[in-house]
Amino acid sequence: DPDFLKAPLDPEERSRIESDEGQVLIIINVPIMLNDSSTVLYDTIPFGIIVTNDNFITVCLKQNPLLDELVETRLRGLNTKKRTRFLLQLLFKTATQYLRDLRQIDKQTDEVEKKLHRSMKNEELIKLLSLEKSLVYFNTSLRSNEYVMEKLLRSRLMRIDPEAIETSQVLQMYPDDEELLEDVIIENKQAMEMCQIHSDILSSMMDAFASVISNNVNIVMKFLTSVTIVLSIPTMVSSFFGMNVPLPFDKTPFAFSIIMLVSFGISGTVAYLMARR
């Protein structure tokens, strides 16, 4: 079906499984790493798997490293003739890749946190935002992939739905395949839980640093206000003695020194009282 080939090429295509005329289309979201000038941003793209009685076709917008890894590592029990087993191995490797990328995100988060303890730069905050965005993509994709896996499980258990019957005819499951499917579901759930934990931690960290930045701004504003008040006292005292009217000390030879001492004395007292508050 040409539509089966076109569907995975849509970047916004959701994870799903459907069958038509002896063909089964499985679309899942796989993680990819995008090299950016400022940070490493993780994203997800659709990965289509078309299974027929004679062929096993994969379709993706970009080269999928999962397939290369399967070939290079020569995974034990890898056999493309066993369509169901090969499909489940792909799903398992996808969930494993999510876990690996989540660990990398966790490491990057720790590095950014250490830098933020030393200096509050916009660059580090932008990196945290990028990582948080990656976790949102991961969480959404993992939940969509869970739907596909649950539907595969239902197609094994239920034979009432015509689509489930057609799917089960193309993807025949044996006891070993059923165990592998359960492992895939467990691995995917583990990735979902890990993603949620990292997302909660990152969100709390962002809130904490936002509070720290706000507190630092308040401290700076308080300091600048205090300095302004202290420096304005000598100006106010000097302005009084600048009036063309009789004033204390106007006949004294040391009037300037006395006025300066009084001004700085008042300023020092005010500064001391403000420092103690």
Give tens-digit pLDDT for 8-23: 888 888 898 888 877 8
Residue that wins the pLDDT comparison between 154 and 6: 6
Mapped onto helix, strand or coil, the DSSP state of residue 61 is coil
Give the class (CATH, top level) of 223-276.
mainly alpha
Nearest residue to 248 via CA among 262, 264, 234, 268: 262
High-pLDDT (> 90) share of the chain, %: 17
- Helices 255-276 and 175-241 pack at an angle, to 10 degrees, of 160
Q: Give residue-wise pLDDT tens across range 177-234.
A: 788 888 999 999 999 999 999 999 988 888 888 888 888 888 888 888 888 888 887 8
Distance of CA 49 to the CA centre of its chain: 27
- CB 156 within 8 Å of CB 168: yes
Indicate if 223-276 has the same CATH topology as 2-218. Answer: yes
Q: How confident is the model at residue 76 (pLDDT cuts 50, 70, 90)?
A: low
For all residues of the chain together, what is the average pLDDT? 80
Domain residue spans in the chain? Answer: 2-218, 223-276
Question: What is the distance between the alpha carbons of residues 250 and 262, in angstroms, rounded to a whole number?
Answer: 14
pLDDT at residue 161 greater than cutoff 60: no
Query: In the block, which residue shows the tokens 């070993």?
Result: 176
Q: How confident is the model at residue 158 (pLDDT cuts 50, 70, 90)?
A: very low
Question: What is the distance between the alpha carbons of residues 277 and 274, in angstroms, rounded to a whole number?
Answer: 5
Q: pTM of this prediction?
A: 0.75
CATH code reported for the domain at 2-218: 1.20.58.340
Query: In the block, which residue shows the tokens 């492992």?
Result: 183
pLDDT at residue 157 greater than cutoff 50: no
Structure tokens at 151: 């539907």
